[in-house]
Amino acid sequence: MTAFEEFLRGNPVAVLSLVLGLGYLVGKTKIRGFEAGSVTGVLFVGLAFGHWGFTPDPVVQSIGFTLFIFSVGLQAGPSFFSVIQQDGLKYLSLAVVIAGTGFLLAASLSGWLGFEPGAAAGLLAGGLTSSPTLAAAQEAVRSGQVSIEGYTPDQVMTNVTTAYAITYIFGLAGLILIIRFLPRMLGLDLPSEAAKLEASRRGGVEDRVHALNDIVVRAYRLENEKLVGARVKQVRETLPGRVSIERIRRGGELIPVTPETELELGDEICFVGFLDEFVARAGSVGPELSDPELLDVHIESVRIVLLRSKVKKLTFTTSLEKITAKQGCFVSRIQRMGVDLPLEGDVDVQAGDVVHVTGPSSRVEEVGQLIGHIERATEQTDLVTFAIGITIGLLVGTWTVTVAGISIGLGSAGGLLAAGLTIGYLRALHPTFGRVPGAARWIFMEAGLMTFMAGVGLRAGSGILETFAQSGPPLILAGIAVTSIPVAIGYGFGRKVLGLNPVLLLGAITGSMTSGASLSIVNDEAKSGIPSLGYTGAYAFANVLLTVAGSVILLL
Give per-residue pLDDT as tens, 103-160: 999 999 998 988 888 889 999 998 988 888 888 888 888 777 777 887 888 888 888 8
**Average pLDDT for residues 407-434, to the nearest whole number?**
75
Residues 267 and 235 grouped into a single domain: yes
Calpha distance 148→141 (Å, rounded):
9
pLDDT digits (tens, 9 = 90+) for 334-383: 877 667 777 665 667 777 778 888 878 877 888 888 888 787 666 677 78
Query: What's the structural domain count of the chain?
Result: 3
Residues 539 and 444 grouped into a single domain: yes
Residue 442: exposed, middle, or buried by beta-carbon count in 10 A (0-12, 13-18, 19+)? middle
pLDDT digits (tens, 9 = 90+) for 32-78: 666 667 877 888 888 888 888 888 887 887 888 888 888 878 877 76
Is there a domain that residue 41 lies in?
Answer: no
Residues 358 and 241 grouped into a single domain: no
pLDDT digits (tens, 9 = 90+) for 137-149: 888 887 777 778 8
Give percent of the chain with pLDDT exceeding 70. Answer: 82
Global pTM value: 0.70
pLDDT digits (tens, 9 = 90+) for 279-322: 666 667 888 888 888 888 887 888 888 776 666 666 655 577 77
Calpha distance 550→256 (Å, rounded):
61
Is there a domain that residue 485 lies in?
Answer: yes
**pLDDT tier, 184 (very low <50, low <70, confident <90, very high otherwise):** confident
Residues 332 and 410 grouped into a single domain: no
Residues 253 and 338 grouped into a single domain: no
Among 71-75, 201-205, 238-242, 401-405, name the most confident range: 71-75
pLDDT at 489: 94
**Where among 230, 261, 295 does a domain terminate?**
295
**pLDDT tier, 260 (very low <50, low <70, confident <90, very high otherwise):** confident
Is the per-residue pLDDT at 512 higher than 60? yes
CATH of the domain at 369: 3.30.70.1450
Residues 520 and 392 grouped into a single domain: yes
| DSSP letters spanning 371-402 | HEEEE-------HHHHHHHHHHHHHHHH-EEE
Residue 349: domain span:
299-375
> Mean pLDDT in the chain?
80
Is there a domain that residue 146 lies in?
Answer: yes
Is the per-residue pLDDT at 12 higher than 70? yes
Residues 306 and 445 grouped into a single domain: no
Q: What is the maximum span of the chain, computed from C-alpha positions, in angstroms?
A: 94
Is the per-residue pLDDT at 226 higher than 70? yes
Residues 193 and 219 grouped into a single domain: no
Residues 387 and 444 grouped into a single domain: yes
**Where among 320, 341, 375 does a domain terminate?**
375
Is there a domain that residue 139 lies in?
Answer: yes
Q: Report in angstroms the alpha-carbon separations of 440 from 340, 432, 435.
A: 19, 16, 10
Is the per-residue pLDDT at 205 higher than 50? no
